[in-house]
Structure 1
Amino acid sequence: MLYKKCIYFAALTAAIAASCSSVKQAPVASNSKGNVIFFDDFSESKIDRTKWSPIITGFHTNGELQAYVDSSATAYIENGVLVLKPQYSPNFKTIDNQQFDFISGRFVTKGKFDFTYGTAEARVKVTAGDGLWPAWWMLGNGMWPNDGEIDIMEFIGEADWVSAAVHGPGYSGETPFVNRKYFDKDHDATQWHVYGVDWTPEALVFKYDGVPMFRVTRKMAGHYGKWVFDNKQHLILNFAVGGIYPFKINGIKKPYYGLSETSLNKIKNGEAKMWVDWVKVTQNK
């Protein structure tokens, strides 16, 4: 029972907290207050399809190496935790007849849950490796970037940092609104962290483990384009492989664009994973 799931929040007793921290290293608590409008702690045996929908690749972006599929090989629940795990699958053909050597998982709440303003959080840990690109983020329901993108946590394989970013019309792609959080070596991205964003009509404040690390305001966006974060957004969890963002950091061209030999071997050995303990969205009245 060593890996039995333990979810707890601030109101629980110190004794219970200590018990859970021995299983899933702290920090674990949600820092948000207000009415819970979405919550999934992945306590069922399968992914809840009333909350999440799989993406099956029919379009391809960012020079990424993977095709998204709906498969228990790339997305499953284990010990009360959602696991996203890319697989090496040479010559895999997509529904639009393109060929990839990797498959992976991407789940969204589009059409099932979206919201405007509030706090979105997830408790996540990842595997390190150059070119591994898991992410926890949100998208508007219309055309990109006109309905906005909020990247709560992106990781491209370097264990000592993760990043947050905001994309909109006039500030998309090479967005000026991006920032990194650097961890100390004993609490790096391979450990559990709570990644969240507080979203109000005037600002997006990114908080990691409850501590603000980056803020983008309506006035800041106005220097580049229109503030578009007044519309509903849905939630996304995915695990990409390689591509433009990792390549621009690591410069790796072989064996794959943005993906190192070491990371390739981790994928082949089933060691490259993104673990998601829970996802929560709250709103104040």
Structure 2
Amino acid sequence: MKQFFLKTFLALTLIFSGNIYAQDIPVRTGTDTLFYDDFSGSSLNREKWNVIGTDFWVNNEQQIYVDSTATIYTVDGADAKGVENALMLKAHYSPNYITFRGNNFDFISGRIDTRDKVMFTYGTAAARMKLPKGSGFWPAFWALGGGSWPETGEIDIMEYVGETDWIGVALHGPEYSGETPLVNKYFFPEGEDVTDWHVYSIDWTPDKIDFKVDGRLTYRVTKPMAEHYGNWAFDNSKFLILNLALGGAYPYKTNGVEKPYNGIPASTVELIKEGKAEVLIDWVLIRK
């Protein structure tokens, strides 16, 4: 089991300096912990997570999600790439895997969530992650409300579309969904990028949401900011989602690639074939 130290990434705002990073400070749990998974088991804990299967497709993504140990599995040792153990979300090239809604899918990948298993309102949600290099990869760590979208809100804690020097964050709700005005990019300091281990988190209260990377405040949305556009959709319970998408709307908007796949250049197809489409998650935490 991973060691829990007295200091946690939540204290970084008090101790942070240019030489101290959240990826070097293990997390701890306590009495205020609502949910914690360090993926130290031999497989994904199905009591904590749901796995999305082939009946789900959105955003013109170029993969189909499958419930398989090929796409969702735990790793340790050298395969965990710098941590003791981790969850792996992995995409594969699998031509004509399935036809769904009139589309043939050449890629399979993994998506998990805590819907109806762990729902929370306010607090801190965080995950320590290591992301792959490649234009058109679209991994995300986010939260959705349990009802209809966008009325019950969406919090994008981390989205990455293949430009390694930045990640995006956003809020979606009624009258500010899709091309939401409540969106921001965080550019990493020199010497860091998404392929390093980083902690992506939010601090969520009744009147604001703070987005953080390694304890650094990167963006804040207040209730009045959201209500300038529509109703504040963040007083209801949310569930967490982790996924590795390929191509689709957001990558295409960023890279403009149309072929060989929408949002996925040929160079990234080769990375997927080489087994390099990997997202690693060291741990996920929710605290009050």
Q: Which of 60, 65, 76 matches 1:68? A: 65
Q: CA deviation at 1:53?
A: 0.7
Please, which runs of 5 or more residues in structure 2 have no aligned partner?
9-20, 77-84
Cα separation, partners in 2 of 1:159 and 1:39, compared to 1, 3 Å: same
Q: CA deviation at 1:61?
A: 1.3
Cα separation, partners in 2 of 1:33 and 1:106, compared to 1, 3 Å: same
Which letter maps to 1:27? D
| Cα separation, 1, equivalents of 2:150 and 2:29 | 28
CA deviation vs aligned residue, 1:145-204 (integer Å, no higher than 9, x gap): 111000000011111001111000100000001111111342111000000000000011
Is 2:146–2:239's contact at 8 Å kept on the other side of the alignment? yes
Secondary structure of the residue aligned to 1:267 is helix
The corresponding residue for 2:45 is 48
Q: CA deviation at 1:83?
A: 0.5
The corresponding residue for 1:113 is 118
The corresponding residue for 2:34 is 37
| Cα separation, 1, equivalents of 2:157 and 2:5 | 21
- Pick which of 30-39 and 217-226 moved more: 30-39
| Cα separation, 2, equivalents of 1:97 and 1:252 | 22
Is 1:91–1:99's contact at 8 Å kept on the other side of the alignment? yes
**Alignment TM-score, normalising by the size of structure 1:** 0.89
| Cα separation, 2, equivalents of 1:251 and 1:97 | 23
| Cα separation, 2, equivalents of 1:276 and 1:144 | 26
Q: Which of 141, 152, 156 matches 1:151? A: 156
Q: CA deviation at 1:111?
A: 1.4
The corresponding residue for 2:259 is 254
CA deviation vs aligned residue, 1:244-267 (integer Å, no higher than 9, x gap): 100111111111110111111111
| Cα separation, 2, equivalents of 1:147 and 1:25 | 31
Secondary structure of the residue aligned to 2:276 is coil
Aligned residue pairs total 268
| Cα separation, 2, equivalents of 1:272 and 1:25 | 24
| Cα separation, 1, equivalents of 2:29 and 2:204 | 12
Cα separation, partners in 2 of 1:259 and 1:50, compared to 1, 3 Å: same
Structure 1's consecutive aligned runs of 4 or more residues displaced over 6 angstroms after TM superposition are 31-34
The corresponding residue for 1:83 is 88
RMSD of equivalent CA atoms? 2.0
1:147-186 equivalences under 5 Å are 147-186=152-191
Q: CA deviation at 1:230?
A: 0.5
Which letter maps to 1:249? T
Which letter maps to 1:75? I
Secondary structure of the residue aligned to 2:191 is helix
Which letter maps to 2:274? N
**Alignment TM-score, normalising by the size of structure 2:** 0.88
Identity rate, percent: 50
The corresponding residue for 1:138 is 143
Cα separation, partners in 2 of 1:146 and 1:32, compared to 1, 3 Å: farther
Cα separation, partners in 2 of 1:72 and 1:280, compared to 1, 3 Å: same
Q: CA deviation at 1:9?
A: 3.8
